[in-house]
Chains A and B, each alone.
Chain A
């Protein structure tokens, strides 16, 4: 007697999207792999163990070359889970599958700057020299916040009450300083604050601060400079 056929348990098919880091190999490949290795040592630790997709648009590789590249990366702890912009004819067994990015799904983010351990080399950054002065030729309006950890900030105009300037270096205001000025953020104790007219709400250098109340009354509205002596903030008139 034939029994009713057992229902085959149906497999669930779900579509889900995941974020993956995309690496773009560029020739010469050996140099590129070495660069990745250095990145991992410096600030790229997150690459290890994360899902990675290789965008092959910049290189022309045969099947075996791609397999070799994937293996090289795997040796360094980078697991390639997909290949993008590869000739579909080259796709084959043994290689990660071909993937296609969905439209508008790309987001870029900066590699977080982790503090490098003492003997480690400088993390591989673009060789372009970073600017060390920020020049603003408009007044800084109330509610605006200028954050420039890489160096000095110079303002050709006034800084309104309710505005704030945070600089890694010194602060120079060729106008009235009515808001908050915080220089030497990040540990630069030699940073100074200069302005043509002091009406500031707060001054700080390397975290040591002084509010308007503690400032000498006869310095008000005069050009001043402020600097750090030990852990005391000192202000003196410039005229």
Chain B
């Protein structure tokens, strides 16, 4: 039976879609069967970051409405055969999602994959609450910045209220993923430190992803950052995070870009 993980944040633009793609690809590269699901109906981005935007025929809403079968909507990644994508609709909006429809799709996906990673939209309304509704675990993505931290705090409270697990009295295991971390700015006091964020959010840390130009490069090329440049700081951070999700204990570090000898001699390599 697959595990459902929701990647959520409250705040927009902190790295949910990037992290969903990166974690999904990292898990697949470790041998797991993974599907990444886009819950951002109307503003879909996961298909772009995965490089599948020209292959979308049917989407999540089509499946919930019975217009298409799940197997028709799922898009297999061309580079990693254990990775699949269930895209969202771009022409509809979040009101088109129904609880029963989502439950039925999630149930089917659980039988087919080891990991179901749900890319939540920003906010605390229907789209976000439906994305988290059937989750077993949650990755809360936060920038080390005051608005993001407060919004993440809010979403953590909602994870303990509006999920099926919470309603049954069980817990949704939460993991904090700090993204766009800049050590230099944190040392100068311009940015919250890791300790500040952990003190406010009191949630176990899954990983620290450094700020990097690699993220934008990867999404422009339509590849998860773990796949596009596996030696970059963010990619290594996501690999560590994926392994921690699978239960491994890895020392917490803030990876920097690892340059190959070639790269060291001739500067940063282009994507």
Contacts and interface: CB of A to CB of B under 8 A. Distances in A.
Contacts of A178: 200
B157 interface: yes
B71 interface: no
A160 interface: yes
A141 B200 contact: no
B150 A157 contact: no
Contact of A142 (B150, B160, B199, B202): B150
A186 interface: no
Contact of A162 (B124, B153, B160, B199): B153
Interface residues of A, number: 14
Interface in B172-218: 199-200, 202
A139 interface: yes
A143 interface: yes
Given A160-B150, A161-B150, A162-B150, A144 B202 contact: no
Nearest to B153: A142
A189 interface: no
B202 A158 contact: yes
B3 interface: no
A22 to B, nearest CB: 28
Task: Report the contact-size class of chain B (Cβ under 8 Å from the partner).
Answer: 10 to 19
A139 B150 contact: no
A144 B161 CA distance: 10
Interface in A134-182: 138-139, 141-144, 157-158, 160-163, 176, 178
B116 interface: no
A144 B160 CA distance: 11
Nearest to B124: A143
Most buried by B among A139, A142, A157: A142
B199 to A, nearest CB: 8
B156 interface: yes
A178 B199 CA distance: 12
Contacts of A157: 202
Contacts of B158: 143
B156 A158 contact: no
A162 B154 contact: yes
Contact of B157 (A141, A158, A176): A141
Interface in B118-141: 124
A144 B157 contact: yes
A210 to B, nearest CB: 22
B200 A143 contact: no
A158 B154 contact: no
Interface in B82-122: none
Contacts of B199: 158, 176
B111 to A, nearest CB: 32
Nearest to A178: B200
A144 B150 CA distance: 12
A163 B202 CA distance: 15
Contacts of B202: 139, 157-158
A179 B74 CA distance: 45
A138 B153 CA distance: 13
Nearest to B200: A160
User: Which interface residue of A143, A162, A178 has the most chain B CB atoms within 10 A?
Assistant: A143
A162 B156 CA distance: 13
A178 B202 CA distance: 14
Most chain A C-beta atoms within 10 Å of own C-beta, residue among B124, B157, B199: B157
A157 B156 CA distance: 15
A109 B26 CA distance: 52
A144 B202 CA distance: 16
9 contacts: A139-B202, A141-B153, A141-B154, A142-B150, A142-B157, A143-B157, A157-B202, A161-B153, A176-B199
Which 10 residue pairs across A and B have the least CB separation, nearest first?
Answer: A141-B157, A142-B153, A142-B154, A143-B154, A160-B153, A144-B157, A139-B202, A141-B153, A142-B150, A141-B156
Given A143-B154, A143-B157, A144-B157, 13 more contacts: A141-B154, A142-B150, A142-B151, A142-B154, A143-B124, A158-B200, A158-B202, A160-B200, A161-B153, A162-B153, A162-B154, A163-B157, A178-B200
